[in-house]
């Protein structure tokens, strides 16, 4: 999820300490910002759709806001979603849904200080705002302090000894990770370009990430789509953990590969680059609209070995025709997205246990359908962007019980053979696990399976 871009020439107002007046001259919170955020929170807190889509519609309709104010509203809205549990606790008898303007003022005051809000925008709410900011969270319930619903708290605490550190990391904003398209560029050259001033941007604090050989991390959220680097296909937006899942597939040149839940194709493009545009990659997905997003990216990438196709289900005729013919299959299964809460904080409030149970059935069915395509001796990688065992190890255990011709392959040696050493790999072996508090990436899980010959 990307927020509207800020101009690189303006300092970030969001760096001000919560509850304090900022010295940033651009951080003055106008009445227009308060009004816009109030309206946006009114829409977002209904949880009737993805936050990024709701924000996009909101900003298209609100033409009066300048780019700086849009950025301020977007950052505040994401902050409200990330810290909605504590916001509710701070508001005490009020409720963000019923009092969206007060919620907006508290969020903005928490970010920039009450003194930064235009007096006429306050409308006499100073006492309520200051009271909220002075609320101590030390006595709040554990779920409030973790900024998650109770059901998610219980599952994560039962699974991770360092659950508090994980929750804290998931409540923070995420950086922007890029993947260098090695068909067209190398990481060193792209880093040099990003760190140099051009007519489109000021120098950016870009750096190589610690694990993926092709990844670059930016703390800023620039307007990438205007850059020649992006337009010419030299870079793509992709989290480092996602890039490493493609490395677990480890496709060889000339092989037949299936990306079974391709979506908009981020991992498909990474696989194609690893294959140097040889062989054949089938990019399957049941959502034709999502798959359509792969088209422009594919054109920019320079790849010629990718063949997208929308399918009806895991039992589609096109899937059955490939039975026993595929060298490697990636199943990037639909999941709760709990590993991406840094980018998609609304998910934790839109998702519940009943939806998790429904998804478990989908995950198992998709995995079983994809497995039929694999050759004896072939490799299957099952991945999610979830931190929950119920979607990860639990699904693999059920699949293996029903498919004795499959065995687990340890993930770490596959990456080590590519000179990629993941911290804490032994803790999670034989699985691949990335977590924001341990690896500064989104949360990912992957299991590598092999079909016995």
> Which structural domains are found in the chain, ordered by start?
13-140 (no CATH), 176-232 (3.30.70), 240-451 (3.40.50.150)
Residue 57 burial (CB count, 10 A):
12
The pairing of beta strand 280-285 with beta strand 374-384: unpaired
What is the predicted pLDDT for the residue at 200? 64
Is there a contact between 87 and 104 (Cβ–Cβ < 8 Å)? no
CA of residue 430 relative to chain centroid, distance: 24
What is the predicted pLDDT for the residue at 320? 93
**Per-residue pLDDT tens listing for the chain (453 residues):** 333 333 333 333 333 333 434 435 446 899 999 999 999 999 999 999 999 999 999 999 988 889 899 999 999 999 999 999 999 999 987 789 999 999 999 999 999 999 999 999 999 899 999 999 999 999 999 999 999 999 999 999 999 999 999 999 999 999 999 999 999 999 999 999 988 866 666 778 899 999 999 999 998 888 888 889 999 999 999 999 999 999 999 999 999 999 999 999 999 999 999 999 999 999 999 999 999 999 999 999 999 999 999 999 999 999 999 999 999 999 999 999 999 999 999 999 999 999 999 999 999 999 999 999 999 999 999 999 999 999 999 999 999 999 999 999 999 999 999 999 999 999 999 999 999 999 999 999 999 999 998
What is the predicted pLDDT for the residue at 214? 98
Residue 46 burial (CB count, 10 A):
10
385 an active-site residue? yes
Q: Which of 121, 89, 81 is nearest to 105 (CA)?
A: 121
Tokens linked to 356: 């998790």
What is the predicted pLDDT for the residue at 199? 62
What is the predicted pLDDT for the residue at 62? 84
What is the predicted pLDDT for the residue at 76? 97
Is there a contact between 10 and 68 (Cβ–Cβ < 8 Å)? yes
- Print burial letters for 225-249: b (CB count within 10 Å at least 16), e (below 16): eebebbeebbbbbbbbbbbbbbbbb
Residue 342 burial (CB count, 10 A):
21
The DSSP H or E segment spanning 360 is helix 353-371
């Amino acid at each position: 999820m990307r927020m509207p871009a800020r101009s690189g020439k303006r300092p970030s107002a969001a760096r001000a300490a919560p509850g304090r007046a900022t010295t940033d001259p651009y951080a003055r919170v106008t009445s227009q910002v308060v009004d816009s955020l109030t309206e946006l929170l009114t829409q977002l807190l209904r949880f009737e759709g993805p936050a990024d889509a709701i924000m996009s519609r909101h900003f298209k309709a609100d033409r009066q806001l300048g780019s700086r104010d849009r950025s301020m509203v977007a950052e505040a809205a994401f902050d409200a979603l990330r810290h909605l549990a504590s916001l509710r606790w701070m508001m005490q008898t009020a409720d963000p849904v019923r009092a969206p303007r007060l919620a907006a003022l508290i969020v903005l005051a928490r970010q920039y200080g009450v003194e930064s809000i235009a007096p006429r925008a306050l409308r006499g709410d100073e006492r309520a705002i200051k009271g909220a900011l002075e609320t101590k969270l030390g006595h709040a319930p554990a779920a409030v302090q973790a900024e998650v619903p109770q059901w998610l708290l219980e599952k994560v605490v039962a699974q991770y000894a360092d659950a508090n550190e994980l929750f804290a990391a998931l409540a923070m904003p995420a950086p922007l990770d890029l993947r260098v398209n090695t068909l067209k560029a190398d990481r060193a050259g792209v880093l040099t370009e990003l760190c140099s001033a051009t007519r489109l941007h000021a120098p950016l604090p870009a750096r190589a990430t610690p694990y993926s050989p092709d990844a670059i991390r930016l703390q800023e959220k620039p307007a990438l789509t205007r850059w020649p680097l992006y337009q010419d296909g030299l870079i793509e937006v992709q989290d480092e953990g996602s890039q490493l899942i493609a490395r677990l597939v480890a496709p060889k040149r000339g092989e037949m590969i299936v990306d079974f839940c391709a979506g908009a194709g981020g991992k498909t493009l990474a696989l194609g680059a690893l294959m140097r545009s040889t062989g054949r990659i089938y990019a399957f997905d049941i959502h034709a609209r999502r798959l359509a997003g792969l088209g422009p990216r594919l054109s920019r990438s320079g790849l010629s070995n990718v063949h997208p196709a929308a399918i009806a289900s895991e039992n589609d005729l096109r899937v059955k025709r490939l039975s026993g013919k595929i060298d490697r299959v990636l199943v990037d299964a639909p999941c709760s997205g709990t590993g991406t809460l840094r980018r998609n904080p609304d998910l934790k409030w839109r998702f519940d246990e009943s939806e998790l149970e429904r998804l478990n059935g989908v995950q198992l069915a998709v995995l079983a359908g994809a497995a039929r395509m694999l050759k004896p001796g072939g490799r299957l990688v099952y991945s999610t962007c979830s931190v929950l065992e119920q979607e990860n190890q639990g699904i693999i255990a059920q699949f293996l019980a029903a498919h004795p011709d499959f065995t687990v392959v340890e993930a770490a040696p596959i990456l080590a053979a590519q000179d990629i050493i993941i911290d804490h790999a032994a803790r999670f072996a034989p699985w691949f696990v990335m977590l924001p508090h341990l690896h500064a990436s989104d949360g990912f899980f992957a299991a590598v399976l092999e079909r016995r010959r």
